[in-house]
Structure 1
Amino acid sequence: MVPMSVEEIAQAVSGRVIAGEGPFGTATGAVSDSRQAKAGSVFVAIKGEHVDGHDFVAKVAAQGAVAAIVDHEVESAGLPQIVVTDTVDALGELARHNIARRRELPGDFDLIGLTGSVGKTTTKDLLSALLSTVGPTVAPVGSFNNEIGLPLTALKVGPETRFFVAEMGASHIGEIARLTRIAPPNLAIVLKVGVAHLGEFGSRERIAQAKSEIVQGLLPGGVAVLNADDDHVAPMAALAPGEVAWFGLAGGCEHEVVARDITSDESDHAEFTLVTASGNSVPVHLGIPGRHNVMNALAAATVALRYGMTPKAVAETLAAQHTISPHRMALSTVTRGDASFTLIDDSFNANPDSMKAGLDGLKAWRPADGRTPFRVVLLGAMLELGPDETNLHAQVGAYAAGLGLDAIIAVGSAKDPHLDSLAEALAAGAREAVAGTDPVIPVDCAHDIDQAERIVLDLAAEHPDMVVLLKGSHASGLSALAERWARN
């Protein structure tokens, strides 16, 4: 955060200062989690579903916070309070002011915004790694991409920051537009328009409209970096206020970067030739698994090349990235008693597009010795898909069955009938697809993660070469199962 006085913060958020004890300090950071407050922090008290940040104002004062932004005065707080109408709105205004302050300071500063139905967080992680070799870079941890997460990350931008990589998500029209008002991008990436949040938007065209807000939110003359292979992304070029840079697989001479000769190694790490618009080419071996990550790597490479990285340096940095944000195609070995198996944890979130990409990754995965493993998938529910959600789940189940996997386990919830019904749809789609095949692929529907774990461990005891993919929305509980297995 660019250092600010309490008075400057109050002016930025249109708040009223109620003084605490002692002289005002200078704020050098902002938090909404009281556990993170320290000397120099301004604490933003947000009223959540289960916890009210106003209950912790006195605590952050004892930890050295210089001020708290509140929507009502907290008695005996012991520090200056800035009273506002809405603390979430105030957080956004403070973040907007911080970005504006950084742009006023000496030294180059560029803000890169990115969005898409799938691949945002992976692309953010790859781009952050690339740009960090050019200059100090701020990027969110995990998937901080909403009206609270993005401003909190924007408030980490300080006087020396060279790049801010801002992930922008949307569950309704106007959300990305709001985020671009807080953090207007110099460059905006649109990855893909899929069917995530289809229930909220109603159609893929409406999803495209929401994603296009990032292009319309560019600063004057800003650059739009667009996926040329997506029919819903390409038309956004007409909305760009400046130059358009294309990336893709098919590729013409107008493309900034193209991937050619794509293959995968035995562990589903993509290998391809990165070709630039100037005709330079370099071999790339991605350090993270998943052939679908080629497009994410191309998007990140397009931006990195624009900021002075050489193709060779881009390839080397992409190869060096072996871990990204948690629960995204993370590889590990799980051991329970006599049972041991390889885990591919992709349980952070899910929609039909990312489900199919994860399943393709499982299909392609091989151990170092090149043998075909016993492949098991645990599929959890996908949320916000609208009235066609049952059919979409059945289609994913059928897709999994069509890949010739060795076992399919749909995971529901004994406590949530909706999640359980969606898991049943997954299993039903898979069972219909495998009916009459020889041999018949076993399809189970577990009604909680405990039951799913028992099925997996029984299979692992019989198949020492087993690999397991976890894929589902966070609410499905599969990430909790992954965390349980991480505690070997």
Structure 2
Amino acid sequence: MVPMSVETIAQAVSGRLVLPSSQDASALGIAAVSDSRQISEGSVFVAIKGERVDGHDFVPSVAQAGAVAAIVDHPVDGARVAQIVVDDTVAALGALAAHNIAMRKAMDEPFDIVGLTGSVGKTTTKDLLSALLERVGKTVAPVGSFNNEIGLPLTALKVDRDTRFFVAEMGANHLGEIANLTRIAPPEVAIVLKVGVAHLGEFGSRQIVAQAKSEIVRGLVPGGIAVLNADDEYAAAMADIAPGEVRWFGIDHTDAAHTVSATDITMDERDRAGFVMRTPDGETPVRLGISGRHNVMNALAAASVALHFGMSPAEIAETLGTQRRISPHRMAVSQVTRGAAEFTLIDDSFNANPDSMKAGLDGLASWGAGKPLYRVAVLGAMLELGDDGPDLHAQVGSYAASLGVDALIAVGGAGDGDLDALAEALANGAKKERSDARGGKGSIDLVSDIDRADRLVSDMAAAHPDVVVLLKGSHASGLSALAERWTAGTNNR
């Protein structure tokens, strides 16, 4: 964060400053902003009301953790910190982040914001791009998937006078959300990865999803660069609204100028892609360090931006090849031991939608490059799909069965009727595919919670010598908790 006085912060958020007796506002300098999870010395604490916890309850005690001020929507009795009273603390957080970004942009040293959005691949692309840009200059990027009206401002407030790049992941649950994020952090470069069916229950159609994602292109600074997926018709159409140059990445549609593309894609036994990266500067071989064929597109998007900022294709290939670990629960590979049973875990349990589910299943099917492995898909429910949810779950189940996985375990919500129904639709889709195919191998199980899934996988691993397990589902399914149970004390590979 660019250092500010508490008075400057109050002005930036249009707040009213309330001081404890005998405290001098001019003596209070702020070097960081935090929520209740990470209060640091000399920070301003933002009190946010959540569904279960109200941050205002922490205000009386934040001074003990080092905070010197708090942004609140009402004065809190007994607090020994300066309080900045605003109408809406989330809006104030955004205003403060915007002020911090504006202060950094006003400095003479180069500073660029790269915004990225898409229905799938945002966080992985963010991780890859951050690793690339860090070779050019100090880069700030969110931890995990901080991409909403709270997460993005908190990350933007980590930008300081020495920051060269801010990689801003931007997600959306409704129209106008990305537009608001671009007002906080107006990007010089905007990446659109893919327009899929995530959050279909909120938006209603893929066309409206595309409208929401296009807000990142409309939010570019004048003359900003749009980096678009040439293989996605909805993303590609955003070239018409780009305020400046358009750069492309893709596999199928690679005839446009300023395109970064991949040819000759191969997969190794750990499902890591190798390919020839074609750029305007020539061809370079790449071998990704992370698993998943779908990550070729994410790597191409990141490479497009890195090329723009002066990295050579050889530097890009080297960096992409050294990235072994990305944000947690995203195609993270571990060797798990459960009693006498052992298996390889592909943990992609952070979140899920139909596109990412199919990508994860493709990775499971190709794992081991044709070796006789026993492949198990442990799948949870996908959320925010609206009335199409049951049908989309059935389609995923059918797809899993069509790939010939040896076992499918559909996991419900431990008594949550909605999650149970979606898991049942997934299992039924797999059963129908097996029936229509008049046979097919493998088992299909429907379980109500992760404990039963744990027992089933342990039994399968004990009964078969070479087992590989994919975990994939929305956060509410609890599969990430199962992954943490399995990987406690192990090292990701």
Smaller-chain TM-score bracket: over 0.9
Deviation, structure 1 residue 439? 4.7
Q: Is the 8 A contact 1:248 1:255 kept in 2?
A: no
Quote the Cα distance in structure 2 between the aligned partners of 1:90 and 1:226.
Answer: 32
In the TM superposition, 1:276-355 aligns within 5 A as: 276-278=279-281, 280-355=282-357
- Corresponding residue of 1:144: 146
> Residue type matched to 1:442 in 2?
S
> Residue type matched to 1:303 in 2?
V
- Corresponding residue of 1:262: 265
In the TM superposition, 1:444-455 aligns within 5 A as: 444-455=445-456
Aligned partner of residue 285 in structure 1, secondary structure: strand
- Corresponding residue of 1:19: 19
Q: Is the 8 A contact 1:123 1:296 kept in 2?
A: yes
Deviation, structure 1 residue 76? 2.0
> Residue type matched to 2:225 in 1?
V
Q: Is the 8 A contact 1:411 1:447 kept in 2?
A: yes
- Corresponding residue of 2:467: 466
Aligned partner of residue 308 in structure 1, secondary structure: coil
Deviation, structure 1 residue 36? 1.7
Q: Is the 8 A contact 2:404 2:441 kept in 1?
A: no
Q: Which runs of 5+ in 2 are unaligned?
A: none
- Corresponding residue of 1:217: 219
Alignment partner of 1:44 out of 11, 26, 46 = 46
> Residue type matched to 1:396 in 2?
V
Quote the Cα distance in structure 1 between the aligned partners of 2:87 and 2:349.
Answer: 37
Quote the Cα distance in structure 2 between the aligned partners of 1:36 and 1:465.
Answer: 42
Quote the Cα distance in structure 1 between the aligned partners of 2:388 and 2:18.
Answer: 52
Quote the Cα distance in structure 1 between the aligned partners of 2:47 and 2:439.
Answer: 60
Quote the Cα distance in structure 2 between the aligned partners of 1:305 and 1:60.
Answer: 44
- Corresponding residue of 2:423: 423
> Residue type matched to 1:472 in 2?
G
Q: Is the 8 A contact 2:248 2:256 kept in 1?
A: no
Residues 116-154 of structure 1: CA deviation (Å, up to 9, x unaligned): 000000000000000001100000000000000000000
- Corresponding residue of 1:371: 371
Aligned partner of residue 75 in structure 1, secondary structure: coil
Deviation, structure 1 residue 40? 1.7
> Residue type matched to 1:247 in 2?
F
Q: Is the 8 A contact 1:120 1:167 kept in 2?
A: yes
Quote the Cα distance in structure 2 between the aligned partners of 1:439 and 1:475.
Answer: 31
Q: TM-score, normalised by structure 2?
A: 0.97
Residues 424-464 of structure 1: CA deviation (Å, up to 9, x unaligned): 00000001111264453210001111111111111001012
Q: Is the 8 A contact 1:253 1:277 kept in 2?
A: no
- Corresponding residue of 1:130: 132
Quote the Cα distance in structure 2 between the aligned partners of 1:193 and 1:462.
Answer: 41
Quote the Cα distance in structure 2 between the aligned partners of 1:445 and 1:415.
Answer: 13
Aligned partner of residue 413 in structure 2, secondary structure: coil
> Residue type matched to 1:31 in 2?
S
Q: Is the 8 A contact 1:434 1:441 kept in 2?
A: no
Quote the Cα distance in structure 1 between the aligned partners of 2:228 and 2:469.
Answer: 34
Q: Is the 8 A contact 1:137 1:164 kept in 2?
A: yes
Aligned partner of residue 287 in structure 1, secondary structure: strand
Aligned residues: 484
Quote the Cα distance in structure 1 between the aligned partners of 2:362 and 2:258.
Answer: 27
Aligned partner of residue 224 in structure 1, secondary structure: strand
Deviation, structure 1 residue 111? 0.3
Quote the Cα distance in structure 1 between the aligned partners of 2:78 and 2:383.
Answer: 43
Quote the Cα distance in structure 2 between the aligned partners of 1:55 and 1:442.
Answer: 50
- Corresponding residue of 1:80: 82
Match status 1:103 vs 2:80: no
Deviation, structure 1 residue 64? 2.1
Residues 73-126 of structure 1: CA deviation (Å, up to 9, x unaligned): 111211111000000000000000000000111210000000000000000000
- Corresponding residue of 1:381: 381
Q: Is the 8 A contact 2:347 2:472 kept in 1?
A: yes
- Corresponding residue of 1:193: 195
In the TM superposition, 1:114-193 aligns within 5 A as: 114-193=116-195
> Residue type matched to 1:399 in 2?
Y
- 405-414 or 281-290, larger mean C-alpha shift: 405-414
Q: Which runs of 5+ in 1 are unaligned?
A: none
> Residue type matched to 1:29 in 2?
A
Quote the Cα distance in structure 1 between the aligned partners of 2:187 and 2:321.
Answer: 27
Quote the Cα distance in structure 2 between the aligned partners of 1:469 and 1:380.
Answer: 11
Residues 292-327 of structure 1: CA deviation (Å, up to 9, x unaligned): 000000000000011111000000000000000000
Residues 243-287 of structure 1: CA deviation (Å, up to 9, x unaligned): 111111130141431111111111110000011123x11100000
Q: Is the 8 A contact 2:404 2:440 kept in 1?
A: no
- Corresponding residue of 2:65: 63
- 339-348 or 48-57, larger mean C-alpha shift: 48-57
Quote the Cα distance in structure 2 between the aligned partners of 1:261 and 1:476.
Answer: 37
Deviation, structure 1 residue 58? 2.3
- Corresponding residue of 2:274: 271
Deviation, structure 1 residue 38? 2.1
Deviation, structure 1 residue 475? 0.5
- Corresponding residue of 1:234: 236
Match status 1:410 vs 2:413: no
> Residue type matched to 1:258 in 2?
S
- Corresponding residue of 1:31: 34
Q: Is the 8 A contact 1:274 1:283 kept in 2?
A: yes
- 15-24 or 299-308, larger mean C-alpha shift: 15-24
Q: Is the 8 A contact 2:153 2:184 kept in 1?
A: yes
Tell me how large the CA RMSD over aligned residues is: 1.1
Q: Is the 8 A contact 2:406 2:441 kept in 1?
A: no
Quote the Cα distance in structure 1 between the aligned partners of 2:440 and 2:236.
Answer: 44
Quote the Cα distance in structure 1 between the aligned partners of 2:101 and 2:346.
Answer: 38
Q: Is the 8 A contact 1:297 1:318 kept in 2?
A: yes
- Corresponding residue of 2:392: 392
Q: TM-score, normalised by structure 1?
A: 0.98
Structure 1 runs of 4+ off > 6 angstroms?
A: none
> Residue type matched to 2:460 in 1?
L
Quote the Cα distance in structure 1 between the aligned partners of 2:83 and 2:9.
Answer: 11
